Structure 1
Amino acid sequence: METLARRLQERARQLGISNAEAARRAGLDERRYAHYASGRREPDLVTLVRIASALGTSPNWMLGVSTTTSDPELAEFIERFANAANGMSKQEVELCVIQAEAIVAAKSRQ
């Protein structure tokens, strides 16, 4: 529960919204959402998915689960990037992908 509560608060900060706004976006009562954000309660799976979708992230990130790499620090950066990309236009995401691919290509030439 601790990770979920921390991630709910972190995501609201990233989006610049209050818990009340996060609750509204997820279609939840403010008090119910506050229980999740404080770590007093855990949402069921359907509610977790709804909250993650409303906040533009994944249930895995909300729970601190990483399947992309065994390096927890790298996994955190990848999830942060994915969360930031949710706030970008398609063109901005494409530019970031091109830049990332260029970095990887340059490394392979060294």
Structure 2
Amino acid sequence: MELFATNLRRRAEELGLSNAEVARRAGLSERRYGNYVSGRREPDLATLVKIASVLATTPNDLLTIRPSTKTSAELARGKAMAALAALAIDDLERVTIMVEALAKRA
């Protein structure tokens, strides 16, 4: 359980997300998510998939040892993916237009 808890904390930190924000985005209470982060409990499969989605990663990455050798570009992409996953469709469409415009300038 400790490996899973460590991976949760590390991934949320990489994305700049608080435990409360991860819990909110995953539809969990802060207390329940806190049990996972502290290593007191492990989630069921459906909950694990929700948390992995919020953290823009895979359940496998949360459950296994992984090297933390991500580039700053990979970290930025991960942050963007996690933020996009939390948006409503109208906001997501607006952001898509803005990102496309930025990409054309580059």
Q: Normalising by the residue count of structure 2, what TM-score does the alignment of the two structures yield? A: 0.65
Residue 86 (1) aligns with residue 86 (2): no
The AA in structure 2 aligned to 1:11 is R
Change (3 A) 1:77 1:36: closer
Q: CA RMSD in A?
A: 2.6
The AA in structure 2 aligned to 1:86 is G
CA distance in 2, matches of 1:87, 1:14: 8
Gaps in structure 1 of 5+ consecutive residues: 66-74, 93-110
| Greater length-normalized contact order (CA 8 Å, ≥ 6 residues apart) | 2
Match of 1:22 in 2: 22
Match of 1:41 in 2: 41
Match of 1:62 in 2: 62
Please report how far the alpha carbon of residue 55 of structure 1 lies from its aligned counterpart in structure 2 after TM superposition.
Answer: 1.0
Is the 2:25–2:54 Cα contact (8 Å) retained in structure 1?
yes
Q: Normalising by the residue count of structure 1, what TM-score does the alignment of the two structures yield? A: 0.63
Gaps in structure 2 of 5+ consecutive residues: 81-98
Please report how far the alpha carbon of residue 63 of structure 1 lies from its aligned counterpart in structure 2 after TM superposition.
Answer: 0.2
- Tell me the SS of whatever aligns to 2:42: coil
Please report how far the alpha carbon of residue 17 of structure 1 lies from its aligned counterpart in structure 2 after TM superposition.
Answer: 1.5
> What percent of counterpart residues are identical?
52
CA distance in 2, matches of 1:21, 1:77: 22
- Tell me the SS of whatever aligns to 2:67: helix
Is the 2:24–2:30 Cα contact (8 Å) retained in structure 1?
yes
Alignment: residue pair count = 82
- After the TM superposition, list the runs of 4 or more consecutive aligned residues in structure 1 that deviate by more than 6 angstroms: 89-92
CA distance in 2, matches of 1:59, 1:17: 18
